Amino acid sequence: MPRDIIPARHIDDDSNPILTASPEMKSPGSSTVQLNEDKSSEPTSSQNIDDFDDADGNEDSQPGSLAYTLLRDHRDDMEVELSQKFKGSSDLHPYVQVLSINDLSGCVAVENAAFPADQAASREKLIYRLTVCPYVCLGIFSHTTAAPTTKTQALYDAARAPDSTNPSHKSLLIGHVLATLTTSSTVTEESMQVPTFFPSHPDFNPHAASSTPVPVLEREPSTSLPDSAFPRTNQPSETPGHHPLGKTLAIHSVAIHPAYQNLGLGKTMLKAYLQRMEGSGIADSAALLAKDKLVGFYIAAFGFEDAGASQVKHGGGGWRNLVSNLFGYNP
């Protein structure tokens, strides 16, 4: 579902806005891109925007996969930026990784903490996106041995140990970018929805799903679900859900957990994400929804263009359509 970058302070505040949106050095055999805090070559995202801000063995991150390509391409700027920002930090060791269904609990924790209930994506939608199109979903993680606080307990509950030899170390998901592909030029209500033939939909009918015509997929689904769980490629643009052959990236959620805001992770995250998508060739353009007060920010910081008022009513409506051409993206 579309999400705006929501400022955590008044727009006329002189300080940088805290943003939330709802909207590693990696060697060829590793599954994550690790950001070494004491090096000047670390990935990620943070531009001094305070944050809109949103493990191991992810098979989608193996060499040769689309997810691996996304991790590999355009990581240098992120690595340098995160390295400089968190050099010497004993509490934050950030790295980025393509998400999978194994990250569901962490995404639920981030989403629910970052957004009001009427704007946060439902668990059902998160299951759908992390299962059908994880290759357009990216997470920021941090290794830590620190004890959880009241604010971060849900993240710790969802965390996994990076390896069995250090069970006290936790890999926390602290932010994410979630999207789907659409054949529309903007984010639509339909692009935010879960098809009724997908197992997590409350009206799912297994008999109907089994008879759904097998789609022709030209993009890597990164999932073991049967073909019946995917949309048909010849369906009209208003059909709900992810369209594998769509050329517009519909960004529904860009969120950093509140406990990790004010660190600049959000702006860098979104810029790096858009650069990776451009480099991968997955989409020709990107689209998201924003409230009026943030339109200027998205235009100035990310190169988006205002495409007019959106008809989307999610979260009370009142959104503006923002679009960006990904060819040669370099804001």
Judging by beta carbons within 10 Å of its beta carbon (0-12, 13-18, 19+), is residue 184 exposed, middle or buried?
middle
- What is the full DSSP assignment across 22-68? ---B--TT-SSBB--TTSS-------S-------TT-GGGSTTSHHH
Q: What is the pLDDT of residues 83-103, one digit of tens each?
A: 566 655 557 778 888 999 999
d(CA 105, CA 119): 18
Give yes or no for a contact between 137 and 251, defined as CB atoms under 8 angstroms apart: no
Q: Is the pTM of this model over 0.85?
A: no
Alpha-helical runs (H) found in 179-254 = 189-192, 206-210
Q: What is the pLDDT of residues 275-330, one digit of tens each?
A: 889 989 999 999 999 989 989 988 999 999 999 999 998 888 899 999 999 977 67
Long-range contact set of residues 5-9: C-beta below 8 Å, sequence gap at least 24: 5/52, 5/254, 5/266, 5/290, 5/294, 5/297, 5/298, 6/52, 6/115, 6/119, 6/291, 7/293, 7/294, 8/50, 8/51, 8/258, 8/261
- Specify the higher pLDDT residue, 52 or 244: 244
Judging by beta carbons within 10 Å of its beta carbon (0-12, 13-18, 19+), is residue 132 exposed, middle or buried?
buried
Q: What is the pLDDT of residues 194-245, one digit of tens each?
A: 998 887 666 555 444 444 443 333 444 444 444 444 444 444 446 899 999 9
Give yes or no for a contact between 109 and 157, defined as CB atoms under 8 angstroms apart: yes
Share of residues in the chain with pLDDT > 70 (%): 56
Q: Which fold has domain 5-325?
A: Aminopeptidase (3.40.630)
Instruction: Return the SS3 of 108.
Output: helix
Strand order in the sheet with 305-309: 94-98, 138-144, 170-182, 248-256, 285-290, 320-325, 305-309
d(CA 102, CA 108): 12
